[in-house]
A and B are shown apart, each in its own frame.
Chain A
Amino acid sequence: MDLDESYVDDRRERANEPLYIPPIAAEPTTSINLAQTLFQPSEFDESLEDQLAQSISSCDRRHPLVSTEIPNVFPHRYDKNFLILTSAGKPIYAMKDGDGTIAYMGVIHTIMNYFKLKEDQDLRCIENGDVRFAFLDREPIVLVAYSARGETSNELFSQLDFLHSYLLSSLSERQLSKIFSKRQNFDLRNFLESTDFENLDEICSLLCERLYPDALLGALRSLSMKKSHRAQLHEAMSQQLTKEKDLPRGTLLYGLIVAPENKLCSVLRPKGHTLHTTDLHLLFCLIFHRFQNLDDSQELWVPICFPKFNANGFLYGYIKFLPKCNSILVLISAQKDAFFNLKSFADHLIKDISSNGLLEEIHKAKGFKISDIPAPLVHHFIYKSKKHVQYVMPELELHSDTEPEQLIELERKFMTYYQQIHNSVVRDDGLAFNKSCLNFIRWDSDAIEPSEEPIAMLGLGWITPKFELYLICNNGVDDKHVIFESAKRIISWCRKHESRLFVNEGAIF
C-alpha cells in the first residue's frame, strides 16, 4: 500500500524495524488526582511554544490536516478474531481466516465443555501474555473473541454480545431455539443468508477497524443541530400523531430520524419507554449498511427483532429515505400489516417538514470542529452525556482526496487511543474505578531518526456521574495543567450547548 506521506504518521513503521511500544507503555504512566493536577507548575518552554503555534495554525481552515500530527504508537496489524459456533461445535462464522479457524472450533468446543463438566462453571476468559480469549456461551450459540489489543474482558464480552444480538435480530430467539430443539447438530450456515454474513462482516469491521465508540460507550452519536430546529421537528412529529386519525393507538411504537453516519437526529416515543441502545445500534447498522443506496422513490417494510426489547418476536420497521437531507425516517410498529398506516403518517410528516424547510436544516447540520471550542492543545475528544446516553465528537477534518484506506487507518488509530484511555479509567468488569475518576495516560517513544519528532502523546479520561470525557492531545504536549483547563472548557462548552448537541426528550406521546 503506497500512502501519501502527508497523511501517514507511521513513517517509522515502514522503516526496517517497526516501531513497537510494548503494551506496558500503554498503561497509565501517571495517575494523579485533581489537586496534583491543579497545582502542577506549567513550564512554558520552547517546545510547548512550538506546539502552541502548531495548534493555532491547525485551527486555521487552510490547514485542516490536524490529524497528521497524531502519531500511531500502536502495532500496525492487531491480531484479533471473532468466531461464532453452535453449542454442538459446528462453525457459523469467523471474522477472518474462516477455513483456517474451522479446525480450532472443535478444540474450543472441547475446552469449554471440559470446564462445564469438570468445574461446573462456564469458561469466560483466558489470558496469555498480551493475548486474551473471551468466551460467551449463549446456548445454542457460542461466541469467542481473540485479541491482542489490550481490551478488557468486559469490552470483548460486549462485542460478542453485539454479534449475538445481531443473530437474534435477524432470526429471533424463538426461531433459533425452534431450529436447535429439533436438531442439536443443525448447521446454521445453511439457514443464514448471504446478507447475514455481510452484516456480520460489517459489524466486525465497525468494532475492529473504525472509529465506532458506540459499542464501547454504550451510547448513540447524536446530530448537532439548532435547538429551535430540533424542537420544531419534534413538534411536527407530535402534531402529526394527533392529526392522524386513521392511525389506531398503539400502531406506532417508535419513530426516529437518523442522519448520515448513524447520528440520531430526533425521536418520537411513548411516555416512559425507550429502546435499548444495543437495539438501536443494530437498527442503525442495518440502515447504514443496507439502505444507504435507497432513493426516495422506495419505502421499505422490514421485519426486525430487537433482542433487548423482545428477543422472541419481530417488530416491523417502515424505512424511508428523506429527500433533500440524506437522512432516513424509521417508524416502528408491532403490527405486520401497519405499513399503509405508517406510510400515511410518514407522507404527511415529510410534506410538513419539507414545506417549512426543516429537511434542509437537517442537511445543513454539519457537526462541529475541534477549533470551535477554546480548548488549546486538544486534538480530538469524545464527550458522553450519561443522562442522554449519547455522545458527541468533533468531525474528523479530512482532505478531500483522502483515500478510503487512509480514512480507515486514521479511524483505527483514533479508536485504539480511545479504547486505551477508556480502559485506563475502568476496571476489567467495565465499571469505573470510582464514581468520579480522572486519569492521564501517556505514550512515549524516542524518535528513531534525529530528524523526526519524538512521540509524546498524552490522553485524558474523566468519568463522573454526569458525563464521560476522553481526549487526545497534540503530540508533544506534556502540560497537564493546560490540558486539564482545556478539558474543563470542553465540558462547560458541551453543557452550555447541551440542547444543541443532544436529543433530549424527543417527541413524547
Chain B
Amino acid sequence: MQATEDAVQAIAEVVRSLKNPAIPQDLPIAADTTLAHDLKLDSLAVMDFVMALEQRFDTVISMDDLPDVQTVGDLARLLDAQPQPAASLS
C-alpha cells in the first residue's frame, strides 16, 4: 500500500515540531526517510514521536505495531490504516 502524501507531510510537520536536538533540522523528510538513521530517533524517542502523532491524528496506535516501522512511509501507512483517516485532520 502506498503511503499518502498527506500523511507523510503531516508526519514531517510533527517531526519539526518536536524540536528534538538530535533530529537534523535541514533534512528533507520523505516516505523513505528512516526513523533510526536519518532522524536519529532511538526506540524511546520513536515512542514519544508516535504519541505526538496519535494526538495530531486523533488516533491510537498499538505499540506492538512499532517494531515493523522503519521509515516515515511505514508510519504513514500505519496512520492511514487507522479507523480515523488522516484527512480528518485540520
A and B associate: no
Q: Which residues of B contact A (CB under 8 A)?
A: none
